[in-house]
């Protein structure tokens, strides 16, 4: 079981050059008056097991997990929360007694991000089929989307997601779409969600879709990019140019961070603290 002090927290994933999580959680620790640190811990795929062993050995209070380890970390844990088990991906590791447990606070984050965007009985296009796409799929099913189409480059890459979420949310049709055949789904989508890292800092000039493809979206469509750095990705810039509702991943980042921090510390940090940390980051950029 971890020692109560200090609060040693961190983030594993690769790459981590874009992350604002350390700034957010350091602000939260200061607000809560807790003696602790939050460290970015770059971790390649072959060292995921080592990172979990280190968490046990060093009594790290909590870890966030980001791309590309949200699924790969699961076999090394002692258990999952019900929502993490349903989603099949984790972004938060915490102690429950002597057991190391995985949770998924991305679901709360994505729900906050799409607040006010109609989902029920709508068709949604999700770019990617990784750990973040799982959290997105869970929220979309819970909110009653008519159809969720995972756009992938490798045939069968979304097969397990289609099957598992189809069983969890039978009223929503989950299916896989080939990237080269994305035109028709784009024309029918009310919501487009990018869960891939394409366009993330430092490659902000890239986009998962061309301007011509974005132009296929209906005038009422909304575009959501889970990337938060840069704040306006090329995909979002194309959506703005079309006059579409466009949102980056900052709200999701703050909402999932708040839930994770409460898991680790028992402290609920108010939204202005998280917003202030991001405002500070923007002023220094």
| Alpha helices (runs of H) in the chain, residue ranges in sequence order | 21-32, 48-57, 82-87, 106-113, 131-142, 159-168, 183-188, 211-214, 234-242, 250-265, 271-284
Query: How far is Cα of residue 233 from the mean position of the Cα atoms in its chain?
Result: 16
Tell me the pLDDT of the chain averaged across its residues: 95
Rounded distance between C-alpha atoms, residue 237 and residue 128, angstroms: 20
Per domain, the residue ranges of the chain are: 7-104+251-284, 108-248
Task: Residue count of the chain, please give it.
Answer: 285
Span 210-228, pLDDT tens digits? 999 999 999 999 999 999 9
Span 97-122, pLDDT tens digits? 999 999 999 999 999 999 999 999 99
The side-by-side arrangement of strands in the sheet containing 99-103 is 36-42, 7-13, 62-65, 92-96, 99-103, 79-80
Give the per-residue pLDDT at 3: 53
Whether 233 and 205 have beta carbons less than 8 Å apart is answered as no
Whether 70 and 131 have beta carbons less than 8 Å apart is answered as yes
Task: Say yes or no to pLDDT of 68 above 90.
Answer: yes
Catalogue the active-site residues. 70
> What is the chain's Cα-based Rg?
19
Q: Is 71 exposed, middle or buried (0-12, 13-18, 19+ CB in 10 A)?
A: middle
Fold of 108-248: Rossmann fold (3.40.50)
Same topology, domains 7-104+251-284 and 108-248? Answer is: yes
Angle subtended by helix axes 21-32 and 271-284, to nearest 10: 130
Q: Which of 58, 9, 46 is nearest to 267 (CA)?
A: 9
Rounded distance between C-alpha atoms, residue 118 and residue 144, angstroms: 10
Question: How would CATH label the architecture of 7-104+251-284?
Answer: 3-Layer(aba) Sandwich (3.40)
């Amino acid at each position: 079981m971890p020692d109560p002090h200090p609060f040693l927290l961190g983030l594993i994933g690769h790459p981590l050059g874009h992350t604002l999580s350390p700034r957010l959680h350091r602000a939260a620790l200061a607000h809560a008056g807790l003696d602790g640190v939050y460290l970015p811990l770059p971790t390649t795929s072959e060292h995921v097991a080592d990172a979990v062993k280190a968490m046990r050995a060093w009594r790290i209070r909590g870890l966030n997990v980001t791309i590309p380890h949200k699924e790969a970390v699961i076999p090394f844990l002692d258990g999952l929360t019900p929502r993490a088990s349903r989603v099949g991906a984790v972004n938060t590791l915490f102690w429950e007694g002597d057991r190391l447990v995985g949770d998924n606070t991305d679901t709360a984050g994505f729900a906050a991000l799409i607040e006010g965007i109609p989902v029920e009985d709508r068709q949604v296009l999700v770019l990617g089929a990784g750990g973040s796409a799982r959290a997105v799929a869970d929220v979309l099913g819970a909110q009653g989307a008519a159809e969720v189409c995972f756009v992938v480059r490798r045939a069968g890459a979304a097969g397990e997601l289609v099957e598992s979420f189809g069983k969890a949310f039978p009223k929503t049709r989950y299916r896989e779409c080939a990237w080269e055949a994305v035109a028709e789904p784009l024309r029918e989508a009310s919501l487009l969600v990018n869960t891939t890292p394409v366009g993330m800092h430092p490659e902000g000039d890239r986009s998962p879709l061309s301007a011509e493809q974005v132009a296929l979206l209906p005038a009422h469509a909304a575009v959501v990019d889970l990337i938060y750095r840069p704040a306006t990705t090329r995909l979002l810039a194309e959506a703005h140019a079309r006059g579409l509702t466009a949102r980056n991943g900052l709200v999701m980042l703050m909402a999932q961070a708040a839930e994770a921090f409460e898991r680790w510390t028992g402290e609920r940090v108010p939204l202005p603290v998280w917003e202030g940390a991001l405002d500070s980051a923007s002023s220094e950029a």
